[in-house]
A and B are shown apart, each in its own frame.
Chain A
């Protein structure tokens, strides 16, 4: 059951079938009950008519009716029968219609009591109503009789059958119409989903860049997320490609230097060794720089916010361990609500590099502030130390270091330029200033 459409269709059809089926059964039962009640009424009125037709003899005793109110009583096998039994169960009289047949009425009814039942007698299905009657003669003695009128069910059954066939025809027709309507509604309702999936296929085939159609409100969240994912993956791809290009190109220089070094290294082993080491280190720097640059995830709409304070605390705990010997004072002012929307690894990389520089170059003190609020649009992280600081004219050189490998500043790692690049990818800012502590103050800000 992979398709949403067939799932909905199946579920709705089952519900519909169940509903119509139950309706049919209920109507059928209701009709049957009311038909039986009508039958009972009819039989009762026959009994009353028989009673009315019954005569009295001279002593006031009951004599069976001579002229029957209903012609069907007189016609053999008419389907309507009457039997009168006396109080001891002895048959006294039966209607002409019953000639040649026999309905044994064994059960006697007390006067005023009636009993409605369904009987199967001599191959006939009958509905029978029995009524107990007390007949007082002139002498004042009461004689008990049971009047039983029975009607063949065939007529009744025919009525029921015709009702049933009408009922199920209608219900079936309605089910068909409803199913068709439902199918159409489903197709129409799910059409935007099919549109999105077709549009996605267009993107996969390279015929479109993004989801540009008009989609219903419920889908715009999905489509805009998809669009930003597509853009993000494109940006990552471009970054990979650029990094790979840069990597290949920038590795060529040290390789060329190594290749063109004098073949006979035994003449001057020290120089040769130093050259190899220098170029190997340069290549290592190039590789780690480009790798890290390519690994930056960049901002995605799906990223969950990362607590900046927690990342700073983790890094500070780790760096405290490594720089335990310096016995420095680290001052943290962390706004616990400050968060960064992006990849935690990227934030860790930025802050790790900046913090490590501060730990490395400080004299005794490092201060980290994480702020949010009305004055800063987003989150602002400042890291300062009491070290020698970076001269204003060197800032650019330091930041460019990762990009242009031909210069190198002794003692300055790649960290700063790496951090700066990641910040740029996230559209953030990195600013340098002189700290009141005496050293460098680095201010990183990310907008929301």
Chain B
């Protein structure tokens, strides 16, 4: 998942970047509105976190321009003022949710997950596909009711595949959304991770949730459970 953080306060920006990276997101950071607009237009983003009080281009204006240029990824606004006039202005301009500073990182992550999930068409916080159940709120996985321990990175791979269940995800797309830009793309790290995921989710090789389409990529094979 590719996330843009636009925040002028250096300390907070770096904290967010580091913690989001630790959680397995690919993070771009921008310190002002203009830089934010550049990233927003040039990068394939899944979500943006935008502070309302930005230098050069205000948060509201940034959101307005992104929306007017057909950028439809979810936007979470951060506001220090916390009054309703600001929140409503932001939401009316095109943001999808807001968070008042200061906030707990856990709260931010919960909102991010909800927005990402909603953007992929899942309305509930728990993604159920066959026996596999992924709780985006708790970030936990169960297979047939039994908890499975995943690393943050493995969790992101699985979450990305499940959010796009049934679609073919190319290796490049997966890499772009899971690694930082400077990651060594030629290595077979991805294959290793997919292999590990398969063993953890399906040790007996009975449900084979992830299939490999040679030369095209991967697909999460199980369909979403109804209800």
A contact set with B: CB distance below 8 Å: 280, 284, 288, 292, 295, 314-315, 317-318, 321-322, 324-325, 327, 344-345, 348-349, 351-353
A sample of 18 cross-chain residue pairs with beta-carbon separation below 8 angstroms, ordered by A number, consists of A284-B102, A288-B100, A295-B83, A314-B92, A317-B91, A318-B87, A318-B91, A321-B96, A321-B97, A322-B91, A322-B97, A324-B118, A325-B125, A327-B123, A349-B85, A351-B84, A352-B87, A352-B88
Q: From B83, B91, B114, give the contact of A292 (CB < 8 A).
A: B83
Closest 5 CB pairs of A and B: A352-B84, A318-B91, A348-B84, A345-B85, A318-B88
CA distance A35 to B88 in the complex (A): 86
CA distance A322 to B99 in the complex (A): 11
Residue of B nearest to A288 (CB): B82
Contact at A348–B118, with CB atoms within 8 Å? no
Mark each residue of chain B from 68 to 98: 1 if its CB lies under 8 Å from any CB of chain A, else 0.
0000000000000011110110011000111
Residue numbers in B under 8 Å from A345 (CB-CB): 83-85
Contact at B96–A322, with CB atoms within 8 Å? yes
Residue numbers in A under 8 Å from B97 (CB-CB): 321-322
Residue numbers in A under 8 Å from B84 (CB-CB): 315, 345, 348-349, 351-353
Interface SS of A by simple majority: helix
CA distance A344 to B82 in the complex (A): 16
CA distance A345 to B123 in the complex (A): 33
Mark each residue of chain B from 90 to 119: 1 if its CB lies under 8 Å from any CB of chain A, else 0.
011000111010100000000000100010
Which of A295, A325, A349 has most B Cβ within 10 Å? Answer: A325
Min distance, Cβ B84 to any Cβ of chain A, angstroms: 3
Residue numbers in B under 8 Å from A327 (CB-CB): 123
Contact at A322–B83, with CB atoms within 8 Å? no
CA distance A322 to B84 in the complex (A): 13
CA distance A327 to B118 in the complex (A): 13
Residue of B nearest to A350 (CB): B84
Given contacts A288-B82, A345-B83, whether A325 and B114 have CB atoms under 8 Å apart is yes
B contact set with A: CB distance below 8 Å: 82-85, 87-88, 91-92, 96-98, 100, 102, 114, 118, 123-125
Min distance, Cβ A442 to any Cβ of chain B, angstroms: 16
Q: From A284, A317, A348, give the contact of B85 (CB < 8 A).
A: A348
CA distance A352 to B102 in the complex (A): 19
Which of B83, B92, B96, B125 has most A Cβ within 10 Å? Answer: B83
CA distance A89 to B16 in the complex (A): 121
Residue numbers in A under 8 Å from B102 (CB-CB): 280, 284
Q: From A280, A292, A317, A324, give the contact of B92 (CB < 8 A).
A: A317
CA distance A348 to B86 in the complex (A): 10
- Besides the contacts A348-B83, A351-B84, what 15 more A-B pairs have beta carbons closer than 8 Å? A288-B82, A288-B100, A292-B82, A314-B92, A318-B92, A324-B118, A325-B114, A325-B118, A325-B124, A325-B125, A345-B83, A348-B88, A349-B83, A349-B85, A352-B88
Which of A315, A348, A349 has most B Cβ within 10 Å? Answer: A348
Residue numbers in B under 8 Å from A315 (CB-CB): 84, 88
Residue of B nearest to A317 (CB): B92
Q: From B83, B85, B91, B100, give the contact of A321 (CB < 8 A).
A: B91
Residue of A nearest to B111 (CB): A322
Which of B87, B100, B123, B124 has most A Cβ within 10 Å? Answer: B87
CA distance A315 to B98 in the complex (A): 13
Residue numbers in B under 8 Å from A321 (CB-CB): 91, 96-97
Residue numbers in A under 8 Å from B82 (CB-CB): 288, 292
Min distance, Cβ A350 to any Cβ of chain B, angstroms: 9
Residue numbers in B under 8 Å from A318 (CB-CB): 87-88, 91-92
Residue of A nearest to B90 (CB): A318
Min distance, Cβ A253 to any Cβ of chain B, angstroms: 19
Residue numbers in A under 8 Å from B91 (CB-CB): 317-318, 321-322
Contact at B88–A314, with CB atoms within 8 Å? yes
Contact at B92–A322, with CB atoms within 8 Å? no
CA distance A38 to B83 in the complex (A): 91
Residue of A nearest to B88 (CB): A318
CA distance A351 to B84 in the complex (A): 9
Min distance, Cβ A295 to any Cβ of chain B, angstroms: 7
CA distance A295 to B83 in the complex (A): 10
